[in-house]
Amino acid sequence: MMKPKVGLFGILEKSEEGWERSAQQVLLIKEQLEKAGMQIVATQEIVGDDHSAQTVGRFFKDSDPDLLLAYMITWSFDHLVLSVLRHIDRPVAVLSIPGINTGSLVGAQQLGYLLTEQNKQYSAFFGPPDNPETYKPILSYAKAAAVKRSMEKGKIIQIGRRCHGMSPATFDELEITRLFGPQVVTFSWEEIEGLAESMKASVVKEINRRIKSIDPMTECAEADIDYTARMYLTLKSMYEQNDLIAISLGGYPHYAGKVCLVSSLLGEDGIVSGCCEGDMNSVIAMYLLQEFSGQPTHFGEMLEVDEGESSVVTSHCGCSAPKLAADASQIRIAPVRLFNQGACIKFPAKSGPATYANLVGRRGTYRICAVEGQAQVTDMVFEGNPVKMVFNVPIKEVIKVVFEKGFGHHWIMGYAHMIQDLQNFCRISNLEGTFLLPN
């Protein structure tokens, strides 16, 4: 599970009450943040003047946290945090605590104004320092900052093209780098297939055995299993050697079914791989939900609506990770529906709390929609990985928002409730978000 790295520092003004207990207060905050699930890098230097602010800024420049947490021990001069940020520009969590004489909340409000005017990414938090509930929203904000930081350091590869005549899969390569962070690198299928052909036969046979252990009765041709094994090895090697965070595959229609099981095997290894139609935007949504949930995601479309229970059956043609299966004994590996070629993985997906999300757009229009609910196991009602998503809001409201705001048709389901995390990510990334919540 993700453990965001947070740089903690205290701020005070020695003319205010409460500053004498600053060292103990910072230690308490550090312990509580660590218990909440964060990796804390704390400086012993308390910010109280420009010299200490410069020292703290240099310390965090070297330690490179995902997020800075400014703990308002007392009221203090707001410009000091800007001195810290001159050395390291990161989102800032501002924590103030109750106390009539310390002025902690007053100082936080003053700092919030300054950070807003300077267009700095921040979020403010308030609560008793000894209460674990104070730190839950901070953890969500820290996770969003950590995900954004990991995206800024990584790359996504696009293999093949996005599907012609499927406009929601259109993506803006340069805007993805500017808005989300990762560099986009493109390859042709001819390049990748050339690399796949060079894989050692002995290693390919090992993957063939792994595939057949999942479904010993597979109906797929030996050539398709061999192709899957070679592609899987090639893409996994590229992922490990090139600082990749995700892989987008343009399969449909010419490669329909040929890389579905490849995507499934990569997903089982924790590698985000968006199969079919070259939908880079959906791959980014998959990455977000996998990072926040710590589990592989489910790729699908709204196939059948039940207004009475406010649900949809969602599925694609069979590219989900085997660990998402409701029952491993029901997993089947077979050619893709309609085209009867390649190798797909088919099973009803498991139940659990879930978030359903769609990401679309280009420069100036990128936007995400998300709704929470409960995934429920369904019968094999579609030849892929069907699952029923029961929403926390009326399905009519979901469909209405999709049309009114121009969202797309590929929906990613992650196994956790993640709207708060996504809201924080949108705040940090300046991404437009539409989140449907119960009244």
pLDDT tens-place string over residues 189-227: 999 999 999 999 999 999 999 999 999 999 999 999 999
Higher pLDDT residue, 97 or 169?
A: 97
Rounded to whole angstroms, what are the CA distances from 266 to 6, 101, 207, 260, 431? Answer: 30, 56, 12, 10, 28
Give the integer Cα–Cα distance in Å for 219 and 204. Answer: 19
Q: What does pLDDT average to over the chain?
A: 96
pLDDT tens digit string along 10-38?
Answer: 999 998 887 888 889 999 999 999 999 99
Contacts of 263 (CB under 8 A, 6+ apart): 249, 273, 274, 275, 276, 319
Range with lowest mean pLDDT among 64-78, 85-99, 270-284, 322-336: 270-284
- Range in 6-10, 103-107, 247-251, 321-325 with the lowest mean pLDDT: 247-251
CA–CA separation, 187 and 341 (whole Å): 23
Alpha helices in 215-309 (DSSP H): 222-241, 260-268, 280-293
- What pLDDT does 405 receive? 98
Q: What per-residue confidence (pLDDT) applies to 26?
A: 95
Running DSSP on this structure, what letter comes out for residue 384?
A: S
Please report the pLDDT score of residue 9 as a whole number.
98
pLDDT of residue 256: 85
pLDDT score for 270: 97
pLDDT at residue 277 above 90?
A: no
Q: Phi and psi at residue 76, in whole multiples of 5°?
A: -155, 170
Query: Which pLDDT band, with edges at 50, 70 and 90, does 166 fall under?
Result: confident
Domain architecture of the chain: domains with CATH: 5-151 (3.40.50.10940), 154-436 (3.20.14)
Strands (E), 65-167: 67-72, 92-96, 122-126, 155-159
Q: What is the pLDDT of residues 430-439, one digit of tens each?
A: 999 999 999 8
User: Taking 80 as the threshold, does the pLDDT of residue 1 lie above it?
Assistant: no
The predicted model gives 342-364 an average pLDDT of 97
Mean pLDDT, to the nearest integer, of 412-421?
99
Nearest C-alpha neighbor of 232 from the set 257, 202, 256, 208:
208
3-state secondary structure of 106: helix
pLDDT at 20: 82
% of the chain exceeding 70 in pLDDT: 100
Residue 167 pLDDT class (50, 70, 90 cuts)? confident
Q: Which of 145-154, 335-344, 383-392, 415-424 has the lowest mean pLDDT?
A: 335-344
Given a contact cutoff of 8 angstroms between Cβ atoms, the answer to whether 1 and 270 are in contact is: no
Q: In this predicted structure, what is the pLDDT of residue 25?
A: 92
Give the burial class of 262: count Cβ atoms within 10 A of its Cβ; 0-12 exposed, 13-18 middle, 19 or more buried: buried
pLDDT category of residue 120 using cuts at 50, 70 and 90 = very high
Q: Long-range contact list for 160-165, CB < 8 A, 24+ apart?
A: 160/187, 160/188, 160/189, 160/249, 160/250, 160/251, 160/255, 160/278, 161/250, 161/278, 162/250, 162/277, 162/278, 162/279, 162/280, 163/250, 163/252, 163/253, 163/276, 163/277, 163/278, 163/279
Q: Work out the pLDDT band at 116, boundaries 50, 70, 90.
A: very high
Q: The whole model's pTM is what?
A: 0.96
Q: Angle at which helices 419-429 and 136-153 pack, to 10 degrees? A: 50
